[in-house]
Amino acid sequence: MNTSMYAIPADSSPFALNDDDAYQRWREQKLAETGLPAVVEINDPGDLQGVEQQTLLSTCERRNFAFFRIKEALGQTESALRALGRRFGLLDLDQNLCAEDSGLTAITVKPTDTDHIYIPYTNRPLGWHTDGYYNAGQHQVRAWLLFCAQPAAEGGANEIMDHEIAYIRLRDENPEWIEALMAPDAFTIPSNTEQGEEIRPDHSGPVFSVSPIDGSLHMRYSARQRNVIWKDDAPTREAAAFLLDLFKRGDDHIFRYRLNAGEGIISNNVLHRRDGFRDEPGAGSKRLMYRARYYQRLPVPREK
């Protein structure tokens, strides 16, 4: 595997373990951002206004996620969401195994025609993860957009945690854990086989990496034990256990939100999970979300 995209942090980076000053300055700013960010109203996603765009991008610059609400009911949901992504300069949709042609994925309860049951397409809860954590090399999902066309009759709320806050919690507890999680073999994604054919080989990668393009922090993570094989050494095992415990005991930077119809999230691929839910299709309450994944991170707003 080409490991060059997993760059070692530059000296002036808050993510360099030998630069505590840069880390402390950045940490203070990050932790000062508290509370759920306000939902940004969008009049027309096909004609995003400057102020709407600036508010969303500056929130994402500080928090790595932002909520939006589209005021009008969308006629063509998929093309409207593609247009919205384009307005953010997000173009490279990740074509995952179940993506439909548009590059947007409709996430709803549906029968699967593969060997495996993909939990996103059931009504079951989804554990903490970042999107595309199983992707190798350059195919890192750096941003995603989630839009709620229809909530479930009951349940289906999301929880979100900026992955940079998870980094802070780990580093404050033990900087050696950060080193372990930045190792190129921190965890291994087992191969994926369908109908006897290997469609994805085993591959290893880091949990945390720093983008060589813009110095931003990227995280690959799944709390699901069967999805990843953690490196069998003490710091890696302890760091993985610490994260599980963090999610269990809670944190004032974990935010819970249940998207209403017309609401969505854009994010620099932060940690997230969802509750299980109950549909009532007869009453028009069948949960339908649209998701787009991007290889680019959201741009930094031009005007501040």
Shortest Cβ distance from residue 130 to Fe ion (Å)?
A: 7
Closest by CA position to 274, among listed 259, 261, 262: 259
Query: For residue 164, which of 252, 62, 266 has the smallest C-alpha distance?
Result: 62
CA end-to-end span of the chain: 39
**Could you tell me if 64 and 270 are in contact, meaning their C-beta atoms sit under 8 angstroms apart?**
yes
Sole window of 100-108, 128-136, 148-156, 193-201 interacting with Fe ion (rule: CB under 5 A) = 128-136
Say if residues 152 and 287 touch (Cβ distance below 8 Å).
Answer: yes
**Dist CA 108 CA 52 (whole Å):** 28
The first and second tokens of residue 77, run together, are 């949901």
Least separation in angstroms between residue 109's CB and Fe ion is 16
Nearer to Fe ion by Cβ, of 180 and 289: the residue is 289
SS3 assignment, position 166:
helix
78 and 103 in contact (C-beta within 8 Å)? no
Tell me whether residue 54 or residue 227 sits nearer to Fe ion (CB atom): 227
Pick out residues in 217-236 that bind Fe ion (CB under 5 A).
none
- Smallest gap from Cβ 292 to Fe ion, in A, equals 12
The residue (of 12 and 95) whose beta carbon lies closer to Fe ion is 95
Q: Where are the alpha helices (DSSP H) in 76-123?
A: 77-87
How many Å apart are CA 232 and CA 213, to the nearest integer?
31
Asked if 131 interacts with Fe ion (CB under 5 A), we say yes
User: How many residues bind Fe ion, per CB under 5 A?
Assistant: 1
Q: Which of residues 231 and 273 has its CB atom nearest to Fe ion in the complex?
A: 273
Identify which of residues 55 and 268 has a Cβ nearer to Fe ion in the complex.
268
Nearer to Fe ion, 118 or 278 (CB): 118
Two structure tokens written together for 271: 């940690």
Stretch of residues binding Fe ion (CB under 5 A), selected from 32-40, 42-50, 124-132, 166-174: 124-132
Minimum CB–partner distance for residue 272 and Fe ion (Å): 6
Minimum distance, C-beta of residue 151 to Fe ion, in the bound complex (Å): 17
Nearest distance from residue 1's CB to Fe ion, in Å?
A: 24
Q: Are 138 and 235 in contact (CB under 8 A)?
A: no
Q: At residue 245, what is the residue type?
A: D
Least distance in angstroms from the C-beta of 140 to Fe ion: 14
> Which range touches Fe ion (CB under 5 A), out of 49-57, 103-111, 123-131, 218-226?
123-131
Interface segment toward Fe ion; rule CB under 5 A; list 4-12, 70-78, 129-137, 169-177:
129-137
CB closer to Fe ion, 78 vs 131: 131
Give least dist CB 219 to Fe ion, A.
13
Q: Which is nearer to Fe ion, 50 or 125 (CB)?
A: 125
Q: What's the rounded Cα separation, in Å, for the pair 45 and 49?
A: 9
Residue nearest to Fe ion (CB): 131
Query: What are the residue ranges of helices labelled H in the chain?
Result: 20-32, 50-63, 77-87, 163-173, 175-181, 234-249
Site for Fe ion, rule CB under 5 A: 131
